[in-house]
Amino acid sequence: MAARRFSALLSLLPAFALASPSTDDTLLANAEQERSAFLETLESLVNLDSGTGDVDDLARVEALLQERLVELGFEVEQHPAEAFGGNTLVARHQGSGDADLMLMIHYDTVFSSGTVAKRPFSSDASRAYGPGVGDAKGGIAVILHSLGLLADLGLSPWGTLTVVFNPDEEKGSFGSRELIAELASEQDAVLSFEPTLGKPGESAVTTVTKGINYAFLEVEGRASHAGGAPEEGRNAVMELAHQLLQLDDLGDSDKGTTLNWTIVEGGTKRNIIPDSARAEGDMRYFDHTEYERVMAEAQSIIAEQRVTDTEVAFRLERGRPPLPPNPATEQLAALAQSIYRQELDQTLALAEIGGGTDAGYAYDPETGQPAVLESLGLVGGRYHSDEEFIELDSIVPRLYLTTRLIQELSGPSAATIDAD
């Protein structure tokens, strides 16, 4: 019943966008007062290393997150993310309404253990810096402090609110993706808190992300002496080069599909005809049917070989699926834009990005549900680099936006609309 009820609610969002209520002055004042505590939380999170797979470091962040969630009245479960280590935290809170909502973000970073000692949290008049400050510890802080603002106001308007913090996003979420998809299938809406992924300095949310697949091309040949008997060999490197050129047109610009070969390996010594060679590539796509097309076309293409008696194999490994253009996300984005424009007098842009996020695991293209909105974290830039930063002026608007979204998505209209 929840999905049908919420589909009806979403159909009203465009009307809401034209008649948004005025600013909640109490909430805005509380969000402004929360800024100092927010920065303390952010500093605490950034100053704990949490590189993907660094289990001891991840455990320290996990403990901090669990403590904060329990303080907010959530019941917390730990789910091992076995691919790279660490636990996915799943926290639930029963509220007074009917809508089921999920907030999610990862707590791992791309930075190895010991990075914080060299480059701890710092800030100036306009920005804060540090490993993972934007991607995505700022998003964690937005979730925790938005929930804190609601608790201070005595509000828990949702039916069930689920918070998911996973430890392996930066390497594909292979240990948490099935759990994310399962939990998301039970929700009316999912809000994801990656940082802004649009133009530098632009306040934006993300409505479309590309999916990611990993391409592998392997050639087996036959070794021989490169000077004494080259004709007896079957040069795997030459065949690999031939196949790479043939496979260069697997992308589809009209559909936004790309396949770029990024790693090539082959040969052992200059005087040996190489008996093996391999390449790896990166495939990005919007249309979920592109996996089958690329696989089928690649198998046909590699049948044409230049070096006889070599064996050629092509395969794709599925990574994150896309968050494709869809009405539910568009309507949710319209609500977010309305809140920003009519309650904060600010502009909120909509971004479509070539990178993949866990939002792709949350959305089901077969059902078109749940409504998923990405990049509700802080405005920032230079992610995954030593210059990663967030804009301090984005803290209060993002706290206000998240809190208002939760209120609107689980408010009185959600409780009264019932397709039955």
Q: Tokens for 132, please give them.
A: 């993972």
**Predicted pLDDT at 414:** 39
Give average pLDDT by consecutive 10-residue segment, the chain, 420 residues: 50 46 91 98 98 98 98 98 97 96 98 98 98 98 98 96 98 97 98 92 95 97 97 98 97 95 98 98 94 97 98 96 95 97 97 93 95 98 97 98 97 40
CATH 3.30.70.360, the chain: domain bounds: 211-318
pTM (2 d.p.): 0.90
- Bridge partners for 189 per DSSP: 101, 371
**Predicted pLDDT at 1:** 40
**Predicted pLDDT at 156:** 96
Q: How many CA atoms lie within 13 A of 179 on its CB side?
A: 25
Q: Tokens for 274, please give them.
A: 């190489």
Per-residue DSSP letters for 347-395? --EEEEESS--THHHH-BTTTTBSEEEB--S--EE-TTSTT-EEEGGGH
Taking only Cα atoms into account, the Rg of the chain, rounded to an integer number of angstroms, comes to 24
CATH 3.40.630.10, the chain: domain bounds: 2-210+322-416
For 76, residues 6+ apart whose C-beta sits below 8 A from its C-beta are: 66, 69, 70, 89, 90, 91
Give the sign of the dihedral formed by CA 354, CA 357, CA 359, CA 364. positive
Going from the C-alpha of 172 to that of each of 53, 81, 178, 277, the distances in angstroms are: 12, 11, 12, 26
Q: Please identify, in words, the CATH class of the domain defined by 2-210+322-416.
A: alpha beta
Going from the C-alpha of 60 to that of each of 51, 54, 63, 129, 174, the distances in angstroms are: 12, 10, 5, 21, 21
**Predicted pLDDT at 125:** 97
* CATH of region 211-318: 3.30.70.360
**Predicted pLDDT at 198:** 80
**Predicted pLDDT at 10:** 56
**Predicted pLDDT at 199:** 83
- Bridge partners for 276 per DSSP: 220
Query: Taking the C-alpha atoms of 223, 227, 228 and 233 in order, what is their torsion angle to the nearest 10 degrees?
Result: 30
Q: Are 84 and 106 in contact (CB under 8 A)?
A: no
Looking at the annotation, which residues are catalytic?
108, 169
